[in-house]
Chain A
Amino acid sequence: MSDTDMIDAVLDRHHHDGTRLMQILRETQEQLGWLSPATLTHIAKAIAWPRAQVEGTADFYSFFHTRPLGRYRVLWSDNITDRMLGNTDLLEAMCKKLWLEPGRVSEDGLVSVDVTSCTGMCDQGPAVLVNCRAITRMTPARVGEMVGLIRSETPLAEWPAEWFAVDDNIRRKDILLAHDLVPGQALAAALERGAEKMLAEIKAARLRGRGGAGFATGLKWEACRSAAGHGAGAAHYVVCNADEGEPGTFKDRVLLTSYAGLVFEGMSIAGLVVGAKKGLLYLRGEYRYLLEPLESALAVRRDAKLLGKNILGTDFEFDIEIHLGAGAYICGEESALIESLEGKPGRPRIRPPFPVTHGYLDQPTTVNNVETLAASCLIAAHGSDWYAQHGTEKSTGSKILSVSGDCERPGIYEYPYGVAVRQVLEDCGASDCQAVQISGPSGMCAAEAEFDRKIAFEDIPTAGAFMVFDETRDMFEVARNFAHFFAHESCGFCTPCRVGTTLVRNLMDKIARNHGSPYDIDELFKLHRLMQGASHCGLGNTACNPIFDTLNKFRPAYEHRLMSLDYEPAFDLDAALSQARQMTGRDDAAAHLKNGAEA
C-alpha cells in the first residue's frame, strides 16, 4: 500500500471527521513513523480543515512528530522517581553506546533518545517508552541489550516480552479494590433505581471527584443532566478522564488494567444519570499498550448486553469509545481534554461556560476521573448509607494512593479517607522519611511535622500521588525537577504561565549551578505570586507550589547553593569567553573572567 492509500484508509475509518484528528494523526504516524508536511496537507484536505489548524494540533503534542525522529524513538521517563532510580546515568550510557546526543536523531535516521514527562511507572522505574510502548525496570544490562536490538533493527514485537510487563503492585485493598461485584451487578441496580434515584444516591453518598479538584460528583451529574443539548447534534456525553498525567500518579493505570469493567460500568451509570448515550474514555498516550485490552473488554461487555442498545433488557442505550492522547499533561484539565477529543490542541477553555453545559461538541458533558466512576459502582450496588460509612464525614469512601520513591514496597494502596500520612509511610516501609510530595508537583510537599495530617478533602486532598523522599534526598533537586516538568508542559496559551514556568525553571537552574543569590529567591516568590493569580488554568496557578513549599519547609537546601549575597549573573562569565578563546588560541589571564566579586 502506498503512503497515501494508507492515510486514506485511516481517514475512511474515521469518516474524514476532523474532530477525530487526534486518532487520525496517531494511526497515521504509527504506520509512517512521522507526520510529514505532505501528510498534514493531505489530511487537512481530507477533513476539510485549514492546514494551519491541522499543523497546530500536530505540533502541540509531544508524541506527534512533525520531523523524522528515527525509526526507534526512545523516551526516558524523567520524573523525580525515575531520577532517584538512576535514569540519568542509564540514558547517558545509552547515548554513549549509540554515539548520540539526547534529543538528536542519529545520522542514519535510525534512532533518537530523549526524555519525557512521567510515564506513570514510578513503582517500577526507571521507565522508557520506545515508539510509544512502555518498558519498565531499566537496568544497565537492559540498556546494552536494547542498543543491540535497535542496531540490528529488530522489530519491537520481537523484543523480550518481559520488558513490557507492567505490574499492578497492589499492596493494600479496601472497599473498591476488594469489591465482590460481578459484571453488570452495579448497573442493574442503577437501572432498577432509575436515573433520578441513582442521582439521589450519589448525592447522598457525598461522592467527590478523585481527579484532584474534589468537586461533588452528584452536583456535577445533576448540572449535566438538567442542561439541555443544543442544535442538531443535541446530546449528552460522559467523559472518563484517564489522562493521569500528574507525575507520581499511576492508580488509574491499575484500575484500567485490572478493574476496567468497573470503570466502564461507572461510565454507564453516569450515562444513565445524565442521559448520555455515548461515553468517551480519554487514555493518555503513555498507556497506548492498554488500548487493545480495553477494546477487548468493551467487546466482552457488548456481548454481555452491558453496552449497546437495550442494555440488560431495558431501553437504556450506551456505548463507549476510547480516544488516545499524545503526550500532553495539560489534557488532564477537563476543558483541554475536551478540546483534544475534538481534534484540537489541548488548550483550556475560557470558563464559564463549564463542560456540564457546553462540553464535548458544545454539548452537556460530565468529565470524571477513572476512580470516581469506579467508585460510583459501589454506591449503585450497596447504596449510599453503606458507602458513607467508610471514610470521614466530609470525605466518604476510599482513596487509592500511588506510592513511589524511597520505600520498600512501592505500589498501590487503598485506604478509607482519613488515613494519616504516617500510617501510609509505615505500611509502605518508608524509614528515615524526610518529605512526601502528595498529589504530585501541583499538590503539596509534606515535611515531618505534618505526617500526622490526614488524607482527606478537609485536610490533605490528593489525586493519588504519594512520592516519598528519605533523608538523603535533596529537596531542592526535587523542586527543580518539578520546575522542569511545568516548563515542559505549559500549554503556552497565557503569558504568566508560558513565560513564567520557563523563568522559574531558569532561576532554579541558576541556583543549581551555584550562581544564585537571595535576589533569585525573591524572584521566585514574586513569580509565584503572579502566576498563582493571573494564570488561565490550574497548571499555571499551581506550577509554583513545589517551589513555594520547599522554600518554606526546606530553605537551607536552597541557601547552601547560593553563591553570594550580591546579585550574580545566571551564566558563567568565564565560559562566555570560551568561543573567543578557542578561535584566538589565547589562554592568558586577560582571556578569563570570574564570577563572584572580583579582587
Chain B
Amino acid sequence: MNNTFQLDGEEIPFTPGQTIMQAATAHGSYIPHLCWHPDFSVHGSCKLCTVKVNGRFGSSCTMEAQPGMEVENRTAELDDKRRTLLQMLFVEGNHFCPSCEKSGDCKLQATAYELKMMSPHFDMFYPDRPVDASHPDILLDFNRCIMCGLCVAASREADGKNIFAMGGRGLLGRRVHVSSESGKLADTDFAATDRAASICPVGVILSKRRGFVVPIGRRTYDLAPISAQVTEKAP
C-alpha cells in the first residue's frame, strides 16, 4: 500500500515516521491542537488533537501515520469533545479576553472560535494564580496557563536554558516552575530575545510595553480563522 491515509475521507500523503498531525499539517489540513508545535518535541497533553483512527480515539500529534488508516477528524462527535476540552481549559484558569493583550493572537481563543464555543459551560474555578512582573522586559500571567509545556520545550530545545519546568500534581498543583530560588523570572537569565519569550500560545508570557501595537481587529485570527492558517509560519 502506498504511503497515504484518509483524513475525513481526504487522501493525505505521509513519509514513514511522520505523525498524523505532521502529515496533515504539511498537507494544509487542520487538526485542532494547542500543545503541539512543529519545531518542538511532542507533549501530548491538551488532547485537542484527539481523532478517531479505525474507530478508536487517539492523539494525532503522537500517533504515527500508517498506510490506509481511516482517520476521523472534524466530525460532530470529535468537535463536541474538543469543545468540552476547551471549556475545561477556560474554567480552570482565569480568562478575561477583554483585558488580555493576547486577544486576537491567542490560539486558545482562536480554537474556541473555530469550534464555536459559546460559553464555558462548567462552573468557573476562579483559581488564585501568580503574576510575575519582576523581569524588566517580560510579564508572566499564569492565570491563563494551559499547561501545554511549550515554554519548557522552547527554553530547553531552542534556547538551551531550561528556564521553565512543569511541576506539581493535579488541578491545583500543576504549574510551570521558574528556575530560580525566588521563583521570579528576574532572577534567571531569561531574555526577551529567547524563543521561549514568543512561544506561549496564550497570554502568559508577554512582552512588556508592546501592548496593542497591532490593534484589535487586525490581529492574526481576526484576519482569518485558525483553520485557514495551517501552513502559516508558526511564531
Contacts and interface: CB of A to CB of B under 8 A. Distances in A.
A57 B167 contact: yes
B181 A41 contact: yes
Nearest to A535: B47
Nearest to A505: B171
B46 interface: yes
Contacts of B44: 350, 494, 536
B81 A492 contact: no
A498 B62 CA distance: 19
A368 to B, nearest CB: 25
A38 interface: yes
A350 B35 CA distance: 14
Interface string B147-174: 1000000000000001111111111011
Contact of A52 (B84, B88, B163): B163
A57 B165 CA distance: 10
A56 B89 contact: no
B45 A533 contact: no
Nearest to A486: B170
A495 interface: yes
Interface residues of B, number: 40
A459 to B, nearest CB: 24
B179 A536 contact: no
A503 B168 contact: no
Contact of B168 (A40, A56, A494, A533): A56
Interface string A488-511: 111111111011111100100000
B50 interface: yes
Tell which of A37, A493, A501 has the most Cβ of chain B within 10 Å.
Answer: A493
B91 interface: yes
B113 interface: no
Contact of A491 (B47, B48, B165, B169): B169
Q: How large is the interface on A (under 10, 10 to 19, 20 to 34, 35 or more residues)?
A: 35 or more
Interface string A531-557: 001111000000000000000000000
Contacts of A345: 166-167, 169
A258 interface: no
A497 B89 CA distance: 12
A62 B57 CA distance: 32
Nearest to B42: A350
B88 A60 contact: no
B167 A495 contact: no
Tell which of B46, B62, B163, B166 has the most Cβ of chain A within 10 Å.
Answer: B166
A200 interface: no
Nearest to A489: B170
A59 B170 contact: no
Contacts of A50: 162-163, 165, 179
A492 B172 CA distance: 9
A350 B167 contact: no
Contacts of B166: 56, 345
A337 to B, nearest CB: 15
B89 A499 contact: yes
Contacts of B62: 350
Contacts, number: 126
A491 B170 contact: yes
A52 B57 contact: no
Nearest to A499: B88
Contact of B88 (A57, A487, A488, A495): A495
A304 to B, nearest CB: 41
A506 B123 contact: yes
A423 interface: no
A499 B171 contact: yes
B105 interface: no
A291 interface: no
B162 A60 contact: no
B180 interface: yes
Tell which of B44, B84, B162, B180 has the most Cβ of chain A within 10 Å.
Answer: B84
A470 interface: no
A52 B147 contact: no
B165 A52 contact: yes
Given A52-B177, A499-B89, A499-B92, A59 B168 contact: yes
A328 B167 CA distance: 13
A40 B183 CA distance: 12
Contacts of A222: none
A492 B44 CA distance: 12
B164 A52 contact: yes
Nearest to B52: A533
B126 interface: no
B181 A60 contact: no
B40 interface: no
Interface string B76-96: 000001001100110110000
Contacts of B170: 487-492, 498, 501-502
Given A56-B166, A60-B169, A350-B62, A530 B179 contact: no
11 contacts: A52-B177, A53-B179, A56-B165, A56-B168, A59-B173, A60-B169, A490-B169, A490-B171, A495-B147, A503-B88, A570-B123
Interface of B: 42, 44-48, 50, 57, 59, 62, 81, 84-85, 88-89, 91-92, 122-123, 125, 146-147, 162-171, 173-174, 177-182
Given A495-B89, A502-B125, 7 more contacts: A40-B181, A52-B165, A52-B178, A487-B171, A503-B88, A536-B44, A536-B45
Interface of A: 37-38, 40-41, 50-53, 55-62, 328, 345, 350, 487-496, 498-503, 506, 526, 530, 533-536, 570
